[in-house]
A and B are shown apart, each in its own frame.
Chain A
Amino acid sequence: MKATGCLLALTTLAALASIGCGPARRGVPFGPPLHLTERQKQGQVLFMRECNGCHPGGAGGLGPGIANKPLPGFAMRTQIREGVGAMPAFTEQMLGDAEVDAIVDYLNALQETPGPL
């Protein structure tokens, strides 16, 4: 029952996201500067090292944009750990749990920041 509920929630999220595509670019010069907590700053540095190549600045590139989707934290953690499609899985040897959490925290900050009007 609990699993069915989660599945329903995930499906609803996916449906909402598919109609909610917006601009993926964030920060100056496209909007207000990011105001990050210390953990989000740590996540930003990790993001730049591990994620920026495929999602430059959170926008699309080799991979899809990830700054414009309301992806819940648990889904982001799952994707980072398991990989999806061409995206590789990041093992605990590559990124510790605390580091993954920091990246997720940073991505949440990106998603909550307005993009270009």
Chain B
Amino acid sequence: MRSDLLRRSALVTCALLLGGCFHLTAGDKTRKEFKPPRRIDPAAIAVPEGYRIDPIATGLTYPTGVTFDDQGTPYVIEAGYSYGEDFAEPRLLRINPDGGHTVVATGGHPPWTGVTFHQGAFYVAEGGTEGGGRIVRITPDGTLTPIVSGLPSLGDHHTNGPAAGPDGALYFSVGTATNAGVVGPDSANAESINWMARASEFHDIPCRDVILRGLNFTSADPRTPDPDDTVTTGAFVPFGTATTPDQVIRSRVPCSGAVFRLAPGATAPELVAWGFRNPYGLAFSPEGQLYVTENGHDERGSRPIFGAGDYLWAVEPGRWYGFPDFVGGRPVNQEWFKPSGAEHPPQFLLAKHPAPPPQPVAFFGVHSSSNGVDFSRGGAFGHRGQAFVAQFGDQAPDTGKVMSPVGYKVVRVDVTNGVIQDFAANKDKGNGGPGSHLGTGGLERPIAVRFDADNGALYVVDFGVMTVLGEDIKPYRETGVLWRITPTGKKEGP
């Protein structure tokens, strides 16, 4: 009795102790509101002793990637689309020494999500929320040639990458159509994601045949004017289509939530690994191991999942990584992942799983949106073999509530033990957040990182300001920045 009283008292104390600071950030409206122009102040960003950060180019509209040509000149892509359903023109820009830029090429199939310079040309991942995903080749004179077309990325997540492998092949990825395998009204929101208006029959496609348990989900039907209309939808099928127990969903490659390899000269991608949700960033370690970052599930839609983090995976060819029934290597049907207000945790959608999924290399913050990744190759920058990851930052509450801002920084990962440490983050006395939230000119939403050819500098692509008010996502054009982090001499660590 006495020990029980003590145990209860300890729990109450824990709650009080841990809860005391929630109000400092949770209800702050400044993360939901922004008045241009964006301030830019490198002094507002903390980097380790022995490094400095500088803005290289400003005024970019939704930049998502950076690469370098053979002369070391940086090039940036602008996506041409942002959540919030704002469409612009995707562009490849050469960044001039004075910080200005020259347009090299423009294109379609937005959002452009990544770029790499490989064997004398630029290769761009066209995300394809319009027109489907593509991998295109752009020569330095601006001539654009599709290499792969028709990638199934019309939905929540897009075609990502590419990264050039040590075998000379290009590797890229395709995200899933949905949050958790079931098309829901969360994909028909004109203020955040509204792909259902463009591709009403689209859904997730498995890379191998799967057998369903026949779970169906009833939701509002945004296709009709009556707000009381409902509809029933199963997994791996179009919105409004029910499924049955033991129903087999046939596979098709290219598929959703997968990593692909494109051999030199080939136009048909080979499947490398599948079962990811949104494998966003791809990079090879100095030893030639492919790693991907994965954006974990949100607490939204017909199958919301609570508490799913983002992950760094070492990609093993042929493996299944868990979507839609495992989160970071853990089965989704446990209390951890039960959404607020739900009676039960999410249940499995598949009657049989291809194999036990592997475990992540690193576990990032829930809703951190851990995106672009690159590996240090040592040299003047140091930290050889460690992964640097750009964290776009949470989109709360649209993706799920948080107590404090998550992400909005660049972190460093020791892939040998999964230890994550901040590398560049905004200065403040609280839990951080975007510069516009903190009232400074610091980082907004880092989305990509890339070391230059001699590993002397880490370039950080900052997407710019994107606010979230309820389900209303509002991106701001011409607020993107290309930052550069360089060593100045004395450094911490190896």
Contacts and interface: CB of A to CB of B under 8 A. Distances in A.
A66 interface: yes
A37 interface: no
A10 B13 contact: yes
A116 B20 contact: no
B4 to A, nearest CB: 10
A27 B368 CA distance: 19
Interface in B407-465: 417-425, 427-432
A93 to B, nearest CB: 12
Nearest to B19: A64
B307 interface: yes
Q: Is the interface of A mostly helix, strand, loop or mixed?
A: loop
B9 A88 contact: no
Contacts of B49: 28-29
Contact of B14 (A53, A84, A115): A84
Contact of A82 (B7, B335, B403): B7
Nearest to A33: B492
Interface string A46-62: 00110011101101111
27 contacts: A6-B9, A14-B16, A14-B17, A17-B16, A23-B429, A24-B431, A28-B48, A28-B49, A28-B492, A29-B47, A30-B46, A30-B422, A48-B418, A52-B309, A53-B328, A53-B364, A59-B404, A61-B367, A61-B402, A62-B367, A70-B17, A71-B18, A75-B13, A82-B7, A82-B11, A115-B429, A116-B427
A65 to B, nearest CB: 6
- For B15, B21, B340, B421, which residue has the most chain A Cβ atoms within 10 angstroms? B21
Interface in A82-110: 82, 84-86, 88
A57 B421 CA distance: 7
Contacts of A24: 21, 430-431
Contacts of B365: 52-54, 56, 61-62
B404 A65 contact: yes
Contact of B421 (A11, A28, A71, A75): A28
A69 B420 contact: no
Contacts of A62: 307, 365-367, 400, 402-403, 406
Interface in B97-151: none
B262 interface: no
B431 A25 contact: yes
Contacts of B21: 21, 24, 60, 64-65, 68
- For A3, A22, A48, A61, which residue has the most chain B Cβ atoms within 10 angstroms? A61
B351 interface: no
Interface in B44-99: 46-49, 51
A88 B336 contact: yes
A86 B486 CA distance: 41
Contacts of B307: 53-54, 62, 86
Interface of B: 2, 5-7, 9-22, 24-25, 46-49, 51, 306-307, 309, 328, 335-336, 340, 362-368, 400, 402-404, 406, 417-425, 427-432, 492-493
Contacts of A115: 429
A75 B17 contact: yes
Contact of B418 (A45, A78, A84): A45
Given A48-B418, A79-B14, A21 B24 contact: yes
A49 B14 contact: no
Contacts of A27: 421-422
B475 to A, nearest CB: 23
Contacts of B364: 52-53, 56
Contact of A53 (B366, B417, B421): B366
Contact of A29 (B335, B425, B428): B425
Contacts of B406: 56, 61-62
A45 B419 contact: yes
A63 B431 contact: no
Nearest to B309: A53
B27 to A, nearest CB: 13
Given A3-B2, A29-B425, A78-B11, A59 B16 contact: no
Contact of B432 (A13, A28, A59, A86): A59
B15 A61 contact: no
B389 to A, nearest CB: 12
A24 to B, nearest CB: 6
Contacts of A44: 419
Interface string A1-16: 0110011001101100
A17 B17 contact: yes
Contacts of A64: 18-19, 21-22, 403-404
Contacts of A59: 404, 431-432
Given A21-B21, A53-B365, A66-B18, A3 B6 contact: yes
Contact of A116 (B24, B46, B340, B418): B46
Q: Give the 9 A-B residue pairs with the shortest CB-CB distance, closest first.
A: A60-B404, A56-B365, A53-B309, A14-B16, A21-B21, A29-B46, A62-B366, A78-B10, A28-B48
